[in-house]
A and B are shown apart, each in its own frame.
Chain A
Amino acid sequence: MPAIRVQNLSKEYVIGGRQRPQETFREMLADAFLSPYRRYRRLRGDASGEERFFALKDVSFDIAPGEVVGIIGRNGAGKSTLLKVLSGITEPTAGRVELTGRTSSLLEVGTGFHQDLTGRENIFLNGALLGMSQSEIREKFDEIVAFSEVEKFLDTPVKHYSSGMYVRLAFAVAAHLEPEILIVDEVLAVGDAKFQQKCLGKMEDAARSGRTVLLVSHNMTAVQSLCGRAIWLDSGSIAMDGDARAVATAYLEGNAKIALEQIWEDPDTAPGNDRIRIHRVSIGPDGEGSTGGLSVATPLRLAFEFWNRAPAAQLNLSMVLYDIQNVCIFNSFSEPRSYPEGLVRGICHIPGNLLNDSKYRVRLLIVEDTSVPLIDLDSLAYFEIRETERPGKWYGKWVGVIRPRLEWETECVRPTVK
């Protein structure tokens, strides 16, 4: 008896609703006299003649009880939509989903937290929203508080909490859910390093105690270590379903189609959250006169643009570079400073003759107070560095993760006297 059964699931969205200005009641009334049936159908969900796209196309899979499955895929592949349908938040357009067992979904950290209520009050509120009964929350109250490390501030309104405390409290409540099926969407990507370890630990506990866990993540390391199985979603369909390590490697390989430039025009659908939304990523040669793509000698310019809705925060951009084998090459970040609200651009210059020839994957984090990642976007962009013409007769692959051109001094220190 599978814990989760998905059969021919499809989910269609009507795009027109987003890009058109929201219809007003007055317009509706006016139209109602002209075509009453057409307007009624809009709310009913039969909107024909508007642009539609399938977030999920005919997806089918079964998950057995106790399996820990990772869902991976590029941004926009349909992962969050799949979780929403599984969680019962939105209905399938076609197909069906069946979940057997008490299900808890963690699609966002701190859902329903009310700023004016204290930490204590929010624990009960958030817990209830996540499906815990009040008696259950009372039982686990002390554990939750201990996990969150905010004992001292338990009776202060949450609006006075730092972002780190907020996240810790929110996750602490969620971590103490004991459902049979746990569905988690990228919530591991918040909090500082120490906290992330705690979260991963909790997820491991859940897995070890035989719970079925469905995890969406861009963190390939977490997916490969936590999950036995992974499903790769690409543009709404399953590209691959199998052993987590195999699928993750295939995904990374397959994704190194070069994506040197990506733009998200609409701040509401761009990756991110209500404080930061990414607008554009652009990778190219630094300076003019460079043609023929990116070679090992080409200095690189990586430009990131994001909409900043956190004007008071001290932000820095942190970029992590991985090669095709998921080896981390380096992590480099900008100086923390605050930016006014609006579109912010950060440019990172990588000198030429540093990176080896390989395909690379870019991960960008935008961090607050040098400790709390506000967004963490793995697989944001890809680029390839090619080999150049080399002097001499050696044609093998230049080894090493990096290949800096270093200063060498050579001289004869003691000639043999004849």
Chain B
Amino acid sequence: MLDLGELWRYRELLGVLVRRDIQVRYKQTILGVAWVILRPLASMAIFTLIFGMLVRVPSDGYPYALFVFSALLPWTYFSSAVLLSGNSLVSSSGLIGKVSFPRLIIPVAAVAGGLVDLCISVVVLLAVLPIFGIGWTMNLLAVPFLVLGIVMAALGVGTLFSALTVAYRDFGHLAGFALQIWMYVTPVVYPASLIPERWRFLLLANPMAALVEGFRAAFLGKPFDFAAIAVSLALSAAVFAAGVAYFGKVERRFADII
């Protein structure tokens, strides 16, 4: 199923593929690195205008702009990672038909590539926080664990989607649509506290919900919902296991169907 030994032997190839994706991404845009920050900033501006000012969604007492930006960072990473890895196998069909290597590397490379962007955005956020009068707290130490959870969820969903996209070409479009809906059932533009107390447990079914709120808590200094985060981490691990298992089962047929 998941042959870690084989993956380790091909770790250099994984590094090369990630490097290639990053090199290509930055070569293609005039703005280069700036684009990484501009995208979530632009979303933040629009959401702040619409949800923060016009609709007046409550933001747990924090400035709406920061409230939404700190949630957009993990969400943008998750969403792009899933979409990129979902299409990764099909875009690399040439490689799959001609070179032998553990196919899992391809969606993993796609998920890993996004981490660089995430790091850059996190640095920007850290720099901006003091300007709004919000200091850095010990909560920030939770960030690596939260990121790990998000990476697992992205890998699980991403590998599942990539395998499905090989078999059903239209799945790529459906994935984009599904992720849009997923964003709205995740507390990105609204706080979890907006959901009535007795329905809040439903959020637990969405592993990203607690992880996004947790990310927000880490940067804004809010208290963590440890129980929800624990459940989400477990759920992410389960999704990861399921995605990789499904991938492993259908991997042998890729070269034949792709």
For chain B, the count of residues having a C-beta within 8 Å of the partner chain is 32
Q: CB within 8 Å of A: which of B155-169? A: 163-164, 167-169
Q: CB within 8 Å of A: which of B222-258? A: 249-250, 252-253, 255-257
Query: Nearest chain-B residue to A133 (Cβ)?
Result: B12
- Given A44-B249, A114-B20, A117-B20, are A129 and B99 also a contact pair (CB < 8 Å)? yes
A60 CB-CB contact with B under 8 Å: no
> Does A88 contact B100, Cβ atoms closer than 8 Å?
yes
B94: chain A residues at CB < 8 Å are 108, 111-112
Within 8 Å by CB of A124, from B16, B24, B100, lies B16
- Closest-CB distance, A395 to chain B (whole angstroms): 56
> Does B97 contact A89, Cβ atoms closer than 8 Å?
yes
Q: CB within 8 Å of B: which of A90-136? A: 90-91, 105, 107-108, 111-112, 114, 116-117, 121, 124-125, 128-130, 133-134
Q: CB within 8 Å of B: which of A1-51? A: 13, 17, 22-26, 28, 42-45
B198 CB-CB contact with A under 8 Å: no
Mark contacts of B93-106 with chain A using CB atoms, 8 A cut-off: 1 yes-contact digit, 0 otherwise: 01111111100000
Within 8 Å by CB of A116, from B27, B97, B163, lies B27
> Does B257 contact A89, Cβ atoms closer than 8 Å?
no
B98: chain A residues at CB < 8 Å are 89, 105, 107-108, 111
For chain A, the count of residues having a C-beta within 8 Å of the partner chain is 34
In the docked arrangement, what's the CA distance between A125 and B22, Å?
13
- Closest-CB distance, A121 to chain B (whole angstroms): 7
> Does B170 contact A128, Cβ atoms closer than 8 Å?
no
B13 CB-CB contact with A under 8 Å: yes
Q: Which residues of B contact A (CB under 8 A)?
A: 12-13, 15-16, 20, 23-24, 27-28, 94-101, 163-164, 167-171, 174, 249-250, 252-253, 255-257
22 pairs, CB–CB < 8 Å, chain A vs chain B: A13-B256, A17-B257, A24-B168, A24-B169, A24-B170, A25-B164, A42-B167, A45-B252, A90-B255, A105-B98, A105-B99, A105-B100, A107-B98, A108-B98, A111-B94, A111-B99, A114-B20, A116-B27, A117-B27, A125-B20, A129-B13, A129-B95
9 closest A-B pairs by beta carbon, nearest first, are A88-B100, A25-B168, A128-B16, A24-B170, A90-B255, A25-B171, A91-B252, A107-B98, A111-B98
